[in-house]
Amino acid sequence: MRTSAAIRCKLMRIASRIPSSWFTSFFTLCFTLFCVPCPIRAQNETLATPSLQKVTEEMIQLNGVVRAPCKSLRVLKTEILKWPPDVWTDNPRLGVGPLKTWKERWHVEQCGTETAYRIEYKANLRGGIDVEIHIPGIGEPEPPPPTTLNAKLLEAAETGKLRLIEKLLAEGADVKSTNEYGRTPFIAAVAHGYNKAAKLLLEHGSDVKALEKRGASALYYAAGTGTPELVRMLLAAGADIHQKFDNGEEPLAEAAVCGNIEAAQLLLEAGADINARSRYLSTPLMEAATYGWSEMMLFLLDHGADPGLRSAAAETALHRLALGCNSPGVARVLLARGSSTKQDRTETLLKTLSRGFDDDCVALARVLLESDIDINRLDGEGNTALLLAARGGYPEIVQSLLKKGADPTVRNKQGKLALDLAASPKIADVLRKATKKR
């Protein structure tokens, strides 16, 4: 599953509103009724799957208000703020179609401090849901609401209606007006991938360096999902390649998040720092690893990205691959470059095995098992790689671990052996034989 964050893919930061017409309203109703799963209502309501909830908790732990050494986290309440319907886009890089998006508020207690986070869940192009954490207290006070004319201009920019934009500008709409999030019509056109609308607004005096409340610029959006032509236009107009989002990421990091190699190439040619660090010390390479963009990772490595750099959580790019069991082929490249320690490789293996088993996780585990690891190292729950593999139900990985010297007699914090957790009779039989040989 391609979710983390993500440590979040902001692959799509598109306004949640679609044009109001009878057709789109009818389609939205049909899609919501037949395509959007209904959540089970409880005291805590959420549309996130259990695995997505786990990712959200990890992101809050990493990026939230309460920092280390606090490691406790308890979710007190969750509530849905904004349900689907879905957002539509006709960005040429993204195609035409619905993208599921919704918002929730999570009330979380961390070491005695209670905080309410706004969480945005957005579909990405890899078939997963990306998570974006909005930290309380960040951003300037909200400006007065725009006039009706300005609001229409923003909506026209969001939908790329050139004639309407020209008409509204002629009537006196302010090209530099903003909505409650600080978004200008120019930024809206860029974020939605309407190159012609963006060019028109730029010609009428839009500020190419304007920022939304959270620090997002037009170039930041273009780096993620924009075409090369759009990125070139912004760079030629004087866009700042070093302007940071509120998490400290520069546009190159957003290109890495979204796998936009063409944009990354243009940004590097313009002088972007390939190892630029965010507020949490992550790098573009780490972001590409988080989302499993293999070609982007190889591109960044070929252009000088340092795979040995560590985030504030002491993670390397190798660690990030385990978040979604991503890119086993690139993992082999990282291992071959010798930038990881034995502890790094072991931690990545444990994280991979704890993620659950699908083909990608198994492939990544195989690659890691080819390297030198601490075979009997314990994770936070006292599980070894063998315990996790037995629980996951993959006899091939269990046998590989035993051949490398994994101890089947180790118990976790619940007192369980790998045999106790065996997910199939075949695995249980292998472990019984291994235990007898001890």
DSSP string, 153-186: HHHHHHHT-HHHHHHHHHTT--TT---TT---HH
- Closest listed residue to residue 230, CA positions, set 91, 381, 399: 91
Structure tokens belonging to residue 243: 């302007």
| Alpha carbons 209 and 231: distance in angstroms, whole number | 13
Whole-angstrom CA distances from 81 to 45, 78, 130, 144, 295 are 10, 10, 17, 23, 36
Mean pLDDT of all residues in 78-89 = 60
| Alpha carbons 340 and 349: distance in angstroms, whole number | 13
Mean pLDDT of the chain: 81
C-alpha 153: how far from its chain's center?
A: 30
Where are the domains positioned within the chain? 22-134
Question: In this predicted model, what pLDDT tens digit does every residue of 230-285 receive, in sequence order?
Answer: 999 999 999 999 999 888 999 999 999 999 999 999 999 999 999 999 998 999 99
- Judge whether residue 91 has pLDDT over 60: no
| Alpha carbons 402 and 422: distance in angstroms, whole number | 14
Which has the minimum average pLDDT: 50-54, 93-97, 101-105, 404-408?
93-97
User: What residue has token string 């959200």?
Assistant: 56
Highest mean pLDDT out of 328-332, 334-338, 414-418? 414-418
- Closest listed residue to residue 328, CA positions, set 372, 286, 362: 362
Q: 86: pLDDT confidence band, cut at 50, 70 and 90?
A: very low
Residue 405: which region, alpha, beta or left (left: phi > 0; alpha: psi -120 to 50)? left
User: Beta-strand (E) ranges in 258-356?
Assistant: none
Give residue 2's pLDDT: 35
Enumerate long-range contacts of 40-45, CB under 8 Å, 24 or more apart.
43/77, 44/75, 44/77, 44/78, 44/79, 45/78, 45/79, 45/80
| Alpha carbons 312 and 120: distance in angstroms, whole number | 23
Give residue 319's pLDDT: 92
Q: Which residues share a beta bridge with 80?
A: 104
Which has the minimum average pLDDT: 54-63, 294-303, 318-327, 362-371?
54-63
Which has the minimum average pLDDT: 19-28, 328-337, 394-403?
19-28
Give residue 124's pLDDT: 63
Q: 386: pLDDT confidence band, cut at 50, 70 and 90?
A: very high
- Judge whether residue 111 has pLDDT over 80: no
C-alpha 236: how far from its chain's center?
A: 29
Mean pLDDT of all residues in 211-218 = 91
- Judge whether residue 125 has pLDDT over 60: no
Structure tokens belonging to residue 317: 């790019």
- Judge whether residue 52 has pLDDT over 50: yes
Whole-angstrom CA distances from 235 to 97, 199, 240, 266 are 29, 13, 8, 9
Q: Which residues share a beta bridge with 107?
A: 77, 116
C-alpha 56: how far from its chain's center?
A: 10
